[in-house]
Structure 1
Amino acid sequence: MKTALSVLFTAMIFLACDQSDTYVSPSDKLYKRWKAVEIGKNGKDWRTLTPPEVIEFVADGTVKYENQANLCCSPTELIRQKSILKVVKTGSNGPYCAGMSCVAISELHILLLSDTDLVIDYSHEGASMYSLRYEATP
């Protein structure tokens, strides 16, 4: 009887552990401050972004922006599914947000992620809107 109970208990523990869970280690390369330095389309045709925008991806899914002035339509909360970041919430503060009609970004696709470089393609309903190339920043 004790053996049957311990087998059942062990099975319940294994079933409760979902391997598809979105837990991410704090050491994940994405979760730090990044400076957007170039803008392009589909991860190519790069042009210098002026002024560069500094953002921080946080492990809890929030996105922090150094320039808080105009966050209209900018992703502020994400759910990560491997190399896809699903947009949960966008910014709505800033003097122009009330009258702005924007095509909201629905997903961010990580095209490249290393310790020092990040390339993200911003898309709406599967269609690429633009890509940003970031460099890690302190």
Structure 2
Amino acid sequence: MKQLILFVLFLGLSISCRKADQDAPPSDPLYQKWRLIETRNGTGTWEPVSSESVMEFRANGNILYPKSEPACCSPIRFERQGETLSITETYGGESCIYVDCAAPAAYKILSLTASELIMEMVYSFDQPVLAGIRMKYSVSK
């Protein structure tokens, strides 16, 4: 009888200590990995993206590119003010020394859910949006 009770206790403890199958979603859905799936210029239609582009926003203000090295002038640091992500630093590795950057000054979040992010590039705060370039992302695992 003691062995049965100990077995049931051990079984209960081992089941309760098991890690959850799914990670908890982030408290702010922005702070995760995003895969670019479509872009849109102006009032045009959404066009699928053929290349693999993944970026991860971190709560500390870093932007990581986990599947590749960032392209020249790609944003790598930001400050968030509500729905605006002001770009504070861009990538400028050795291969970028002759590149004249025209990186966005900020990204404006137009829509953000747990599984989809739509942003618009802002190139200058004097001229808020350049040709309405929008990017649609889905969560990347």
Alignment of 1:85-124 (within 5 A): 85-93=85-93, 95=95, 97-124=96-123
Contact 2:31 2:58 in 1 (8 A): yes
Contact 1:36 1:133 in 2 (8 A): yes
Aligned residues: 112
- Equivalent residue, structure 2, for 1:52: 52
Deviates more, 1:52-61 or 1:65-74: 65-74
Q: CA RMSD in A?
A: 1.8
Which residue identity does 2:129 align to in structure 1?
A
- Equivalent residue, structure 1, for 2:136: 133
Runs of 4+ in 1 over 6 A off after TM superposition: none
Q: Distance in 1 between matches of 2:43 and 2:135?
A: 8
Contact 1:73 1:91 in 2 (8 A): yes
State yes or no: 1:27 paired with 2:57.
no
Contact 1:42 1:121 in 2 (8 A): no
Q: Distance in 2 between matches of 1:32 and 1:43?
A: 28
- Equivalent residue, structure 2, for 1:9: none
Contact 2:120 2:129 in 1 (8 A): no
Q: Distance in 2 between matches of 1:124 and 1:47?
A: 21
Alignment of 1:1-80 (within 5 A): 27-42=27-42, 45-80=45-80
Contact 2:122 2:129 in 1 (8 A): yes
Contact 1:76 1:90 in 2 (8 A): yes
* % identical equivalent positions: 27
How many Å apart are 1:48 and its aligned residue? 1.0
Distance 1:94 1:118, change over 3 A: farther
Q: Distance in 2 between matches of 1:34 and 1:98?
A: 28
Q: Unpaired runs of 5+ in structure 2?
A: 1-25
How many Å apart are 1:46 and its aligned residue? 1.3
Deviates more, 1:80-89 or 1:122-131: 122-131
How many Å apart are 1:44 and its aligned residue? 5.3
How many Å apart are 1:101 and its aligned residue? 1.1
